[in-house]
């Protein structure tokens, strides 16, 4: 089942535009600062769009429609974790990160508070985390393109990933931000249009609710039903903390013109995310009614193919591809910068100059792209792969970084430099063992256990070692203007 020539032309025009942006911005990238944080010159509109396009990727579209299709509207409450998380980050954390004017990566932040060992461990884990997250986007690309073109899923996953890799490799963060602006407009317009048409064809929201209830009333339970308290807490925390201060958002906070722009662009999109969540929930319910016994990852694309008119199909598929490719390119660029600055520059060649860093960032883009595609073919469910990554991020790097950023005044160091590494390792290992080996005994979510252990170890090590470093702590200008 393919699409019309007209819709296909719309998609081809979209692909040509994003590749041209990559070529255009490649000529504007003169140094590593341009490639990694777009010269720290981005205004509110572009930061808002790039944060929005990054948050609303393959997991937030294809994956979450699948989640609603398979689980029900209780997902809406779980997804509010993203809104809460981004609002708090926008007000309290993102502006502090922007004030650290020499930050390119999450490793730079961790080095400031926790020294070279904290930076190295964080950078390696973040790099691997980014590979998995790019796998989510590559997988979603394959799912979107499969019914359009009719080629095998694996071939289309590779094709979509290669286009994303190409323009990210060429233009770095500049290409990512400019394409995000276009992709965000497409995303909001396309998905909103699809929802309105779907509501009209189904006879309105009341009719959708009645039809869904006639199939399974548990699908309309806002809390309870098949969801135990433990499962809900685990899922809510995964969305609340799973992407909080993830490496690709650190770059966006650092790329704006000012800390004020960073704060309000983050909070503004957090509010708008409520609208996107409602839209995705409606599409998932329509799919639940009209596509019984379907692979959840295929619901959104089949809804578009069956219910939307010619021309709109091309627009909505373009929006879906935009959502996935924008997030994919963000992840690629972040991982490449981490690889170049923190791993290559921090371990292999500590005296690397600007040109060498730029060259290795481009190498990193290619490596992460290939590795991410391999991961996507190993775990062939968009939502499963995304949630697994979220469950590892929240109990590892996140707690020490949040404590360090919030404790004291901006750019003031009050934590022991030795506290992060054992906390990260213990939280990560505990989560993996509790989830994959013990099978979450007593119904206690692994993410909760991992965070508790992380915080406990952090507190103990901090108290045992802080006196050794009191003379070295306090306010520092190492990462200040």
pLDDT 10s digits, 109-161: 999 999 989 999 998 888 888 888 787 777 777 777 777 776 676 777 777 77
Structure tokens at 120: 């190295």
The alpha-carbon radius of gyration of the chain (Å, integer) is 22
CB–CB of 260/182 below 8 Å?
no
pLDDT range class, residue 403, cuts 50, 70, 90: very high
pLDDT confidence of residue 316: 78
CB–CB of 317/7 below 8 Å?
yes
CA atoms within 13 A on the CB side of 123: 26
b/e per residue, 96-109, with b = 16+ CB within 10 A?
Answer: bbbbbeebbbbbbb
pLDDT confidence of residue 387: 66
pTM of the model: 0.78
The helix/strand/coil state of 24 is: helix
> In this predicted model, which residue has the larger pLDDT, 359 or 326?
359
pLDDT range class, residue 380, cuts 50, 70, 90: low
What are 176-223's pLDDT values in tens digits? Answer: 777 777 777 877 888 888 889 999 999 999 999 999 999 988 888 876
Q: Which CATH number is 5-393 given? A: 1.20.1730.10
**Mean of the per-residue pLDDT values for the chain?**
82
Q: Considering only CA atoms, which of 341, 415, 376, 281 is closest in space to residue 122?
A: 341
The set of residues, in sequence order, having a beta carbon less than 8 Å from that of 433 and lying 6+ positions away, is none
Helical axes 106-149 vs 398-406, angle rounded to 10°: 130
- DSSP assignment of 187-254 equals HHHHHHHHHHHHHHHHT-HHHHHHHHHHH-GGGG-SS-TT--HHHHHHHHHHHHHSSTT-HHHHHHHH
pLDDT confidence of residue 113: 92
pLDDT range class, residue 26, cuts 50, 70, 90: low
CB–CB of 7/310 below 8 Å?
yes
pLDDT above 90 for 32? no
What are 328-344's pLDDT values in tens digits? Answer: 777 888 888 888 888 88
Domain ranges of the chain: 5-393, 395-481
């Amino acid at each position: 089942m393919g699409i019309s020539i007209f819709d296909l032309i719309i998609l081809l025009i979209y692909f040509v535009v994003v590749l041209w942006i990559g070529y255009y911005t490649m000529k504007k990238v003169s140094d590593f600062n341009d490639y990694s944080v777009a010269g720290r010159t981005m205004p509110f509109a572009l930061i808002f769009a790039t944060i929005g396009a990054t948050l609303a990727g393959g997991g937030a579209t294809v994956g979450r429609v699948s989640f609603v299709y398979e689980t029900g509207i209780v997902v809406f409450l779980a997804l509010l974790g993203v809104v809460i998380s981004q609002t708090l980050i926008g007000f309290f954390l993102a502006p502090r990160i922007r004030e650290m004017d020499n930050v390119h990566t999450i490793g730079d932040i961790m080095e400031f508070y926790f020294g070279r060992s904290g930076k190295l461990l964080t950078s390696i884990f973040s790099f691997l985390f980014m590979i998995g997250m790019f796998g989510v986007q590559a997988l979603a690309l394959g799912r979107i393109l499969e019914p359009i073109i009719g080629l095998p899923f694996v071939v289309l996953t590779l094709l979509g990933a290669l286009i994303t890799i190409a323009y990210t490799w060429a233009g770095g963060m500049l290409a990512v931000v400019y394409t995000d602006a276009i992709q965000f407009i497409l995303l909001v317009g396309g998905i909103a249009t699809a929802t309105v048409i779907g509501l009209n064809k189904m006879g309105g929201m009341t009719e959708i609710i009645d039809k869904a209830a006639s199939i399974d009333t548990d699908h309309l339970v806002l809390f309870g039903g098949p969801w135990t308290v433990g499962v809900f807490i685990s899922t809510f925390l995964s969305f609340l903390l799973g992407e909080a201060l993830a490496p690709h958002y650190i770059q966006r906070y650092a790329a704006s013109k000012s800390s004020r722009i960073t704060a309000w662009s983050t909070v503004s999109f957090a509010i708008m995310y409520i609208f996107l969540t409602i839209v995705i929930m409606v599409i998932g319910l329509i799919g639940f009614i009209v596509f019984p016994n379907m692979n959840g990852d295929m619901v959104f694309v089949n809804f578009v193919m069956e219910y939307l008119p010619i021309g709109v199909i091309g627009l909505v598929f373009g929006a879906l591809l935009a959502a996935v490719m924008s997030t994919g390119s963000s992840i690629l660029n972040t991982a490449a910068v981490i690889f170049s600055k923190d791993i290559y520059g921090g371990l292999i060649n500590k005296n690397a100059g600007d040109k060498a860093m730029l060259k290795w960032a481009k190498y990193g883009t290619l490596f992460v792209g290939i590795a991410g595609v391999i991961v996507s073919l190993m775990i062939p469910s968009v939502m499963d792969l995304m949630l697994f990554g979220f469950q590892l991020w929240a109990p590892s790097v996140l707690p020490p970084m949040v404590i360090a950023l919030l404790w004291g005044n901006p750019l003031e160091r009050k934590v022991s430099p030795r506290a992060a590494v054992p906390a990260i390792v213990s939280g990560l290992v505990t989560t993996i063992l509790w989830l994959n080996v013990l099978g979450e005994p007593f119904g206690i979510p692994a993410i909760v256990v991992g965070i508790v252990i992380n915080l406990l170890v952090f507190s103990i090590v901090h108290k045992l070692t802080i006196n050794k470093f009191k003379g070295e702590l306090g306010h520092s200008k190492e990462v200040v203007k």
